[in-house]
Structure 1
Amino acid sequence: MAVGKVTFTREERDQLAKVLWMLNWISVVTGVIIFSLGLFIKVEIQKQRDVMSDQDILYVPHMLIATGLVACCINFLGGKICYDCVDGAKFTRWKLVMLPYIVCTFCFTFCVLVGALLCYSMRSQLEDSLQLGLRGAMRYYKDTDTPGRCYLKRTLDLLQIQFECCGNAGYKDWFAVQWVSNRYLDMTSPRVLDRLRSNVEGKYLMDGVPFSCCNTFSPRPCIQHQLTNNSAHFSYRHQTDRLNLWTRGCRQVLLEHYTGILQSTGLIVLLIWLFELLVLTGVRYLQTAMENLLLLGDLDSESDGWILENSLAETARWNLNVIKNLGKCYNVDDDEDPNINVPRSQESQGEPTTSEVTLRRKDQTRHLPL
């Protein structure tokens, strides 16, 4: 029994072909949208590539870009096919192409769904990449005279000012790294030397942060040094006076920024997937209806269209039998092989087997009189 069987008149078939022609052209536009969304995500990630690790997190935008390009090509071809299906004579040119086209469209539609789901599953990988990347960028913040790292100070300062954040998880992360270069330290000062000697790795650590961590909405001038020393500043309590610095870490801020973009993109791609699924269903009805029409021979008669010619169980059983019988064509015919289909009951009943009969004939031949 066919799944989703619908009977179409000639007017209904022509109307379906015209609607599908229009929908395929709309699908070309949706393909451009998917391509643009993938390109936008890639550009946004590339903007902060200096504070991300080398983990491969660009597979989602790359997949969206490729899917968008394929969508434009497939739907352009689908529009041409549906336009020719209005005329039954022109459909014969596309008869052999329709089924492969539908299979390719189904695979493409599945890729659109996968792309939408990947937009929602990218958060954990993005968080790990930001955590490792920000940690490394903060470690090299002081290397303004080292080739390949001289730009990290500017990158981190602009990042903290633009996104109003400080450090990796918070401003205290700067306490664990040396963010002041040795070229700007007075090595003759006993205080500086004592601080360097007090650290196992010989780093100049202090309870201070770069100027970009200062909160621009603070009512007082920014305090960025001796943040944990209340007596070093007038009317200052570092436990409660949080208006002085940005309290949120850059990892969380960037993660929320990219998560919002990815969730919006995933929702748009999911809606496009539903639209493409509708178009695919219509094309399948049109294909089966036109093929049945050619079998009838009367282009003006009614014809049936369906999604599956048989039920799901019958289709699965038929495909399973096809897979099982793929290698049988290479087997030798059972009637021509004397060693096949020899019942084992012959040995139990005392009947000679084929090999025993052959040996007996040889012995009899030897004892025959000359």
Structure 2
Amino acid sequence: MAVLKVKFTKNKRDKLAQVLWILNWISVVTGIILFSLGLFLKIEIGSRNELMANREVHSVPNMLIAVGVIACGINFLGGKICYDCSDTNKFHRWKLFMLPYIICTFFFTFCILVGALMCYTMRNELEESLYQGLKEALKFYKDTDTPGRCFLKRTIDMLQIEFQCCGNNGFRDWFEIQWISIRYLDMSNKEVQDRLKSNVDGKYLMDGVPFSCCNINSPRPCIQNQLTNNSAHYNYDFQSKELNVWQKGCRKALLEYYTQIMQSIGLTVLIIWLFELSVLTGVRYLQTAMENVLRQGDPDSESDGWLLENSFVETARSNLNIIKNLGKSNQINAISGNEDPNMDVPTADYGPDNVPPKQIPTASQPELKVLYEH
């Protein structure tokens, strides 16, 4: 029994073809939207590429860009097909092409769904990439004279000012790294020498943060050095909530920023997937209805359209049998191709005495001819 069978008159078939022609052109626009969303996300991630360790985070924008380009091509072709399907004579040109086109469009629509789901499942991968990338970037904050790293200080400072964050997980991350270059330290100063000697790795560590960590909403001037020393500053308690540096880590701030963008993009892509699925369903109905018209031979007659000619179980069983038969035929071809014509055939074990049975003599061709004449 056909699945979701609908009866179409000639007028309904013509209207369906016209509506699908318009929807396919709208789908071309949705393809451009997918491409634009992927390009926007790629630019946003690329703008802070040096703060990310894992390059696989580009998989989502790359997929959206590819799906957007393919959507424009497929829907442009679908518009041409639906426009010609309103005429029975023109449908003959597309009859053999319709089923492969629908199958390809189905897999393409599935890729759109995968792209939407990837926007929601990428959070953990993005968080790990930001954690490792920011951790390395903070170490190179002081290397303003090193080629390839000279702009990291500016990048991190602008990041902390824009997103109102400090460090990777928090402001204490700056206590664990040397973020002041040696060229700006007075090596003859005893305090500097003591700090360098007190550390196993010979680093200049201190409980201070860069200026970009300062909270602009703090009522008092920014305190960057000796953040954990209450006696070094008047009326100061570093454990209070009025600490004048940003409390949020930059990893969390960037993660929230990108998550919000990807959730919005994922919702848009999901809506586009539902729209593409409805267009694909309409094209399937139009294909089956027009094929039934050709079988009947009367272009003005009514015809049935359906999604599947048989039930889901029967369709799955028939497709499984086709796959099994293809596998068996490949095995037979492989076996027949590997046979050696010169290979010796093993003799059978005829009995305890190993004596072959008596063979019936066959008549020669002249003898058969004589017998036939008599």
Superposition deviation, residue 356 in structure 1 = 2.7
The alpha-carbon distance between structure 1 residues 354 and 300, as it changes in their structure 2 partners (threshold 3 A), is: farther
Q: What amino acid maps onto 1:240 in structure 2? A: S
| Cα displacement string for residues 43-84 of structure 1 (whole angstroms, at most 9, x for unaligned residues) | 000111111114321000000000000000000000000001
Superposition deviation, residue 17 in structure 1 = 0.3
Q: How does 1:116-127 map to 2 (within 5 A)?
A: 116-127=116-127
Superposition deviation, residue 325 in structure 1 = 2.2
Superposition deviation, residue 218 in structure 1 = 1.0
The alpha-carbon distance between structure 1 residues 359 and 22, as it changes in their structure 2 partners (threshold 3 A), is: farther
Paired residues of 1:215 and 1:222 also in contact (CA < 8 A): yes
Superposition deviation, residue 361 in structure 1 = 2.9
Give the aligned partner of residue 295 of structure 2: 295
Stretches of structure 1 lacking an aligned partner (at least 5 in a row): 333-352, 366-370
Superposition deviation, residue 242 in structure 1 = 3.1
Q: Name the CA distance, whole Å, in 1 between partners of 2:204 and 2:55.
A: 30
Q: How does 1:284-363 map to 2 (within 5 A)?
A: 284-326=284-326, 327-328=328-329, 356=350, 359-361=355-357
The alpha-carbon distance between structure 1 residues 359 and 291, as it changes in their structure 2 partners (threshold 3 A), is: farther
The answer to whether 1:215 aligns with 2:211 is no
Q: What amino acid maps onto 2:156 in structure 1? A: L
Q: Name the CA distance, whole Å, in 1 between partners of 2:41 and 2:331.
A: 52
Q: How does 1:115-194 map to 2 (within 5 A)?
A: 115-194=115-194
Q: Name the CA distance, whole Å, in 2 between partners of 1:235 and 1:48.
A: 39
Paired residues of 1:217 and 1:243 also in contact (CA < 8 A): no
Q: What amino acid maps onto 2:306 in structure 1? A: W
The answer to whether 1:44 aligns with 2:44 is yes
Give the aligned partner of residue 94 of structure 1: 94
> Which SS does the other structure have where 1:237 is aligned?
coil
Superposition deviation, residue 355 in structure 1 = 5.8
Q: How does 1:248-287 map to 2 (within 5 A)?
A: 248-287=248-287
| TM, length-normalised to structure 2 | 0.89
Matched residue pairs, number? 345
Give the aligned partner of residue 343 of structure 2: none
Superposition deviation, residue 319 in structure 1 = 1.5
Q: How does 1:13-52 map to 2 (within 5 A)?
A: 13-52=13-52
Paired residues of 1:37 and 1:64 also in contact (CA < 8 A): yes
Q: What amino acid maps onto 2:350 in structure 1? A: E
| Cα displacement string for residues 153-179 of structure 1 (whole angstroms, at most 9, x for unaligned residues) | 000000000111000011011000000
| Cα displacement string for residues 286-320 of structure 1 (whole angstroms, at most 9, x for unaligned residues) | 00000110010000000111100101111111112
> Which SS does the other structure have where 2:357 is aligned?
helix
Q: Name the CA distance, whole Å, in 2 between partners of 1:217 and 1:247.
A: 12
Q: Name the CA distance, whole Å, in 2 between partners of 1:249 and 1:218.
A: 18
Give the aligned partner of residue 110 of structure 1: 110
Q: What amino acid maps onto 2:289 in structure 1? A: A
Give the aligned partner of residue 81 of structure 2: 81
Superposition deviation, residue 258 in structure 1 = 0.0
Q: Name the CA distance, whole Å, in 1 between partners of 2:200 and 2:332.
A: 76
Give the aligned partner of residue 6 of structure 1: 6
Stretches of structure 2 lacking an aligned partner (at least 5 in a row): 334-346, 362-374
Q: What amino acid maps onto 2:25 in structure 1? A: W
Q: Name the CA distance, whole Å, in 2 between partners of 1:41 and 1:328.
A: 47
Give the aligned partner of residue 348 of structure 1: none
Q: Name the CA distance, whole Å, in 1 between partners of 2:121 and 2:34.
A: 18
Q: Name the CA distance, whole Å, in 2 between partners of 1:363 and 1:6.
A: 68
Q: Name the CA distance, whole Å, in 2 between partners of 1:302 and 1:35.
A: 41
Superposition deviation, residue 322 in structure 1 = 1.7
The answer to whether 1:196 aligns with 2:202 is no
> Which SS does the other structure have where 1:56 is aligned?
helix
